[in-house]
């Protein structure tokens, strides 16, 4: 599906203005899959997986990837500007307010951030559980997910080591299947 860059800019600006406190991937999922139907759930999950293993912020990587996929290079630039400009502008304003209102535990600014954090975790959890039903569709997918969970989440291996151990195995598993 081809989408014009102005339409992508408007859609991704909306996400950029509403994705407070994290959960940006959840907002992008709602926009691209649920509301607009520009990609299937499987296509989105594959794109998100790719963007999670690349260096840099997942939210920006995913926006650039989705924009490019839907609208070519102009679409990628529009999507990236759309998600980054509102957050960067608001972060500058909120940082100034935060440091003027106080940064001590128990201050109104610190307590407001705790509420935002809890909301963001809820968004991330809801999206993760929904995507798990799609992405963990075979025993080998479950095994790979468990490997990454154990090595990164429990043993605290460095992320590059986890990726170097899991990505080649995952590619090999599914490369043979697709041939």
Residues 68 and 123 in one domain: yes
104 with 25, same domain: the answer is yes
CA distance 95 to 80: 22
Q: For a pLDDT cut of 90, what percent of the chain falls above it?
A: 50
Number of domains in the chain: 2
Q: Tokens standing for 65?
A: 């990837």
Q: Pick from 75-84, 86-95, 97-106, 131-140 the range whose average pLDDT is largest.
A: 75-84
Shared domain check, 179 and 117: no
Tally DSSP H helices, then E strands, for the chain.
7, 0
Q: For residues 63 and 125, state if they share a domain.
A: yes
Tell me whether residue 23 is exposed, middle or buried, using C-beta atoms within 10 angstroms of its C-beta: 0 to 12, 13 to 18, 19 or more. buried
Whether 125 and 154 share a structural domain: no
Domain that holds residue 28: 5-135
Shared domain check, 170 and 120 = no
d(CA 53, CA 142): 18
Residues 65 and 116 in one domain: yes
Residue with tokens 């109104």, as numbered in its chain: 108
Is a pLDDT exceeding 70 seen at residue 17? yes
CB 84 within 8 A of CB 91: no
Would the pTM of this model clear 0.85, i.e. be above it? no
48 to 38, 41, 64, 165: CA distances (angstroms): 15, 10, 11, 19
Kindly state the tokens that stand for 100: 């003027």
Counting residues of the chain whose pLDDT is more than 70, the rounded percentage is 91
pLDDT in tens, 36-64: 999 999 999 999 989 988 888 889 999 99
Where is pLDDT greater, at 121 or 142?
142
Grade residue 106 by pLDDT with cuts at 50, 70 and 90: low
Nearest to 80 by CA among 95, 90, 67: 67
- Residue 178 pLDDT > 80, yes or no? no
């Amino acid at each position: 599906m081809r989408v014009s860059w102005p339409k992508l800019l408007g859609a991704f600006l909306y996400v950029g203005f509403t994705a407070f406190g994290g959960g940006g991937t959840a907002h992008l999922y709602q926009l691209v899959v649920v509301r607009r139907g520009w990609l299937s759930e499987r296509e989105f999950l594959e794109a998100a997986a790719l963007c999670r293993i690349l260096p840099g912020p997942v939210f920006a990587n995913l926006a650039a990837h989705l924009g490019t996929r839907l609208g070519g290079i102009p679409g990628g630039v529009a999507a990236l500007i759309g998600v980054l400009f509102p957050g960067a502008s608001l972060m500058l304003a909120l940082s100034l307010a935060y440091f003027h209102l106080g940064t001590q535990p128990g201050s109104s600014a610190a307590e407001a951030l705790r509420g935002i954090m809890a909301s963001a975790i809820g968004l991330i959890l809801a999206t993760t559980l929904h995507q798990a039903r799609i992405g963990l569709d075979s025993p080998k997918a479950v095994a790979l997910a468990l490997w990454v969970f154990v090595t990164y989440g429990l043993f605290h291996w460095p992320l590059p080591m986890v990726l170097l151990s899991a990505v080649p195995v995952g590619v090999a598993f599914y490369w043979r299947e697709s041939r």
